[in-house]
Structure 1
Amino acid sequence: MSNSVKHLLEVKNLKKYFNVGSGQVLKAIDDVSFYIDKGETFGLVGESGCGKSTTGRTITRLYEATSGEIYYDGKDISRLKKREAKDYTKDVQMIFQDPYASLNPRMTVGDIIAEGIDIHNIYKGKERQERIYELLGLVGLNQEHANRFPHEFSGGQRQRIGIARALAIEPKLIICDEPISALDVSIQAQVVNLLEELQRNLKLTYLFIAHDLSMVKHISDRVGVMYLGSIVEMAPSVELYKNSMHPYTGALMSAIPIPDPDIERSRQRILLEGDVPSPINPPAGCKFASRCKHAMPICKEKAPELVDQGGGHFVACYLYDK
């Protein structure tokens, strides 16, 4: 994958390690590479603790990368000058998982939404107020909501406020960090439909982070599957769901419920045995080998590389070693 400007975002060999004391290092992201084209949605999925949220936060520069490169519109974000860095923070916004924890309880909704507008000095006075009302309308809320506080809203409404805040400064790329996992199931589809509608109307690009594979399938053009800090499989969404190759992806797929009781009763779940290795002391070879029934001696000696099996379907597994 070259750092061509045709990719809006390109992540190359990204690592993020945390010092956890006593000389120990937690490898939250361990050599992750992917790209996102303008206007598409790239889904990043995996179990809790696999590093997907850390990836999103490192892209937005909430965390500094340990090593690796992040290119935005062809530019290495670690080398941006002060003015370019400010433009980058304007172009790349984030929607957080917990809509209540991410909203300041002492600020009105109007002021929360306008935070970015004020920082970047985009609108003033009447124009600022009109922009707040416009954003509330875009996410399905009313003008009178601007003077209320976050505790006066439901979880779904609070997430809509978070979306309005992310949209306020007209970003090009939005990192959606598990934006529906804290919401009731009945509300999740509404929020996903809203995100899709906004993407179409505003020409947005998404990195959609989640552990719900069925929802990721619905919204994503391509999907990357993460396990213990690394991407083990990556493919166009339809291809991944029709023809998953990595044993870990297969196990995740088997857990997705099918809305047909006859099929659901007869299908077999793939139950993973063994414990997830520690990210502080990961194994030398494939990190999934200790839980994989197909593991071979080489799997425990050397980590497999992410190899294109054709049609943009990448997998890191010796079962498909070319």
Structure 2
Amino acid sequence: MSGDKAFIQVKDLKKYFNVGRKATLKAVDGVNFNIKKGETLGLVGESGCGKTTCGRTVMGLYEASGGEVLFDGTNVHKLKGKAKKDFTKRAQIIFQDPYASLNPRMTVSDIIAAGIDIHRLYSGRDRINRVYELLNIVGLNKEHADRFPHEFSGGQRQRIGIARALAMEPDFIVCDEPISALDVSIQAQVVNLLIKLQKELGLTYLFIAHDLSMVRHISDRVGVMYLGKMAEITKSTKLYENPLHPYTKALLSAIPVPEPTVSRGKKRIKLEGEVPSPINPKPGCRFASRCKYVKDICYRETPKLKEIEKDHYVACHLY
């Protein structure tokens, strides 16, 4: 996978957790992808596939068990001191839960300005004016600055989380399922806000979600994860129109269609077989126990992510 023009390069990234005396949970196990500057890469997959762990390891919130993450050519996991502090200014994260990610004892003003204070970007009147500006950018008012998180709805809290991420004028934001805890009516508002901010500020996103319709709406390219591995990655339009990996096909077939006449004629692919455990996984393809196209080699060798068509990468022995 070419990374010549990549802003973010993830190379053979691994994150393991020790969960017992001889048990290792391989949450992220050799993932590769690149993100160009100003691009949005969507990361999808069912719950427990390692999406969030991958995002947090890319950010440096988790130490990598192997591989590397290059941010503008610099290895994130080798940064120390001032270099690491500078990285935290350029890379931010929007957390999944807008209820748990905001300190209930802090006012909105102090929550948003926490990073500003750490990096000493503004002080005095300029500081509060910057907070007002950020609130306005995300669709809130300066009157909200002195309130506490419990006084807001879920959508408003997520907007506060977005304002906090924007406070240090970052280049890269990991959006960790930023809409999953919100009402459906609010989800589109938040996603449209993220798209608007990306165009205005030139942001680069890693957008993690399990809502496949919303990922299609916001992403330039989409990567599909399954049990710690990258199964397929390509341009958003190509993935939805011509999925190649059997897991991707099953995943996309589950997207609900609001039109009853279309929905009745849509064929749903139902996966059978046992879901393997990510703890001490067996050799071979992780999807083998659920795949109807399984071959002997699938139980022996782990498929590598390879380019099947231009910019279309698949990890499957069928190709």
Q: Distance in 2 between matches of 1:58 and 1:130?
A: 33
2:273 is the counterpart of 1:269? no
Measured against aligned partners, the alpha-carbon deviations of 1:154-181 in whole angstroms (never above 9, x if no partner) come to: 0000000000000000000000000000
Q: Distance in 1 between matches of 2:3 and 2:39?
A: 17
**Amino acid across the alignment from 2:262:** I
Alignment of 1:83-232 (within 5 A): 83-232=82-231
Contact 2:112 2:163 in 1 (8 A): yes
Measured against aligned partners, the alpha-carbon deviations of 1:212-261 in whole angstroms (never above 9, x if no partner) come to: 11110010000000000000000000000010000000001001112321
Measured against aligned partners, the alpha-carbon deviations of 1:277-312 in whole angstroms (never above 9, x if no partner) come to: 111021210000000011011111101111101220
Q: Distance in 2 between matches of 1:54 and 1:200?
A: 27
Q: Distance in 2 between matches of 1:238 and 1:2?
A: 20
The more displaced of 99-108 and 16-25 is: 16-25
Alignment of 1:259-298 (within 5 A): 259-298=258-297
**Amino acid across the alignment from 1:244:** P
Match of 1:63 in 2: 62
Contact 1:12 1:69 in 2 (8 A): yes
Alignment of 1:75-90 (within 5 A): 75-90=74-89
Match of 1:239 in 2: 238
Match of 1:312 in 2: 311
TM score, norm. by length of structure 1:
0.97
Q: Distance in 2 between matches of 1:27 and 1:251?
A: 23
Would you identify which runs of 4 or more consecutive aligned residues in structure 1 move more than 3 Å? 1-4
Shift of 1:76: 1.4
Contact 1:222 1:234 in 2 (8 A): yes
Contact 1:3 1:71 in 2 (8 A): no
**Amino acid across the alignment from 1:113:** I
Q: Distance in 1 between matches of 2:78 and 2:95?
A: 26
Q: Distance in 1 between matches of 2:151 and 2:78?
A: 42
Secondary structure, in 3 states, of the residue corresponding to 1:84? helix
Match of 1:303 in 2: 302
TM score, norm. by length of structure 2:
0.98
Contact 1:42 1:224 in 2 (8 A): yes
Secondary structure, in 3 states, of the residue corresponding to 2:206? strand
Secondary structure, in 3 states, of the residue corresponding to 2:234? strand
Superposition CA RMSD, Å: 0.9
**Amino acid across the alignment from 1:105:** P
Q: Distance in 2 between matches of 1:319 and 1:21?
A: 35
The more displaced of 40-49 and 268-277 is: 268-277
Shift of 1:2: 5.4
Contact 2:60 2:77 in 1 (8 A): no
Contact 2:231 2:314 in 1 (8 A): yes
Q: Distance in 1 between matches of 2:156 and 2:174?
A: 19
Contact 1:44 1:223 in 2 (8 A): yes
**Amino acid across the alignment from 2:118:** I
Shift of 1:21: 1.9
Contact 2:138 2:163 in 1 (8 A): yes
Q: Distance in 2 between matches of 1:29 and 1:111?
A: 35
Measured against aligned partners, the alpha-carbon deviations of 1:15-48 in whole angstroms (never above 9, x if no partner) come to: 0000112221100000000000000000000011
Q: Distance in 1 between matches of 2:78 and 2:252?
A: 40
Secondary structure, in 3 states, of the residue corresponding to 1:309? strand
Match of 1:52 in 2: 51
Contact 2:3 2:34 in 1 (8 A): no
Shift of 1:3: 5.4
List gaps (5 residues or longer) in structure 2. Answer: none
Secondary structure, in 3 states, of the residue corresponding to 1:117? helix
List gaps (5 residues or longer) in structure 1. Answer: none
Q: Distance in 2 between matches of 1:236 and 1:299?
A: 26
Q: Distance in 2 between matches of 1:146 and 1:164?
A: 11
